[in-house]
Amino acid sequence: MSKSVYEYSVKNIDGQEVNLSQYKDKVLLIVNVASKCGFTPQYKDLEQLFEEYKGEVVVLGFPCNQFGAQEPGDAEEIKNFCSLTYDVKFPLFDKIDVNGKNAHPLYSFLKEAKPGLLGTEAIKWNFTKFLVNKKGEVVKRYAPNDSIDKIKKDLAPFLA
């Protein structure tokens, strides 16, 4: 198993390859997002967190259409929705699968590093979050309904 998220490359929402090692020495919050989900208003909280900890914490959003087809749009539609509706400035990436045989390797790593409730690795829904320390290690997994306030409380030891 890989030891760090820095070993992965992903395509950003504009289709360009991004090596996650460019985020070395930053705390990351990696989230599978969707535009038509009951948790979609979390975009606002995620953007607030990104702005509040600018330079120290980076939110990485991965659109996913695997849960109730809640992210049907293409890259341009997703970008426009996020920008116009929630003024999202944190990095967004290409739409991916987070579960199943076509799951992106990054998500396979995240799920193996921090399994969910009762040891299940599968992502249960949109807006599942993974906290990654400055060394690229997955340190915590959050359920879709976990609040940004809860995440903020957990950030302190990783920001030092």
Summarised one tens digit per residue, pLDDT across range 103-141 is: 999 999 999 999 887 778 899 999 999 999 999 999 999
- Kindly report whether the global pTM for this prediction surpasses the value 0.85: yes
Q: What is the DSSP letter of 127?
A: T
Closest CA to 4 of 112, 129, 142: 112
Average pLDDT of every residue of the chain:
94
| Residue 158 located in a structural domain | no
| Residue 46 located in a structural domain | yes
- Residues 91, 58 contacting (CB under 8 angstroms): yes
- Residues 138, 53 contacting (CB under 8 angstroms): no
Task: Give the pLDDT band of residue 7 (cuts 50, 70, 90).
Answer: very high
Amino acid at 129: K
Annotation says 37 is catalytic: yes
Domain extent at residue 101: 5-148
| Residue 153 located in a structural domain | no
| Residue 160 located in a structural domain | no
Number of domains forming the structure of the chain: 1
Catalytic option among 27, 37, 92, 123: 37
pLDDT at 102 over 80: yes
| Residue 130 located in a structural domain | yes
In degrees and rounded to multiples of 5, residue 45 shows phi and psi of -65, -40
What is the structure's pLDDT at 119? 79
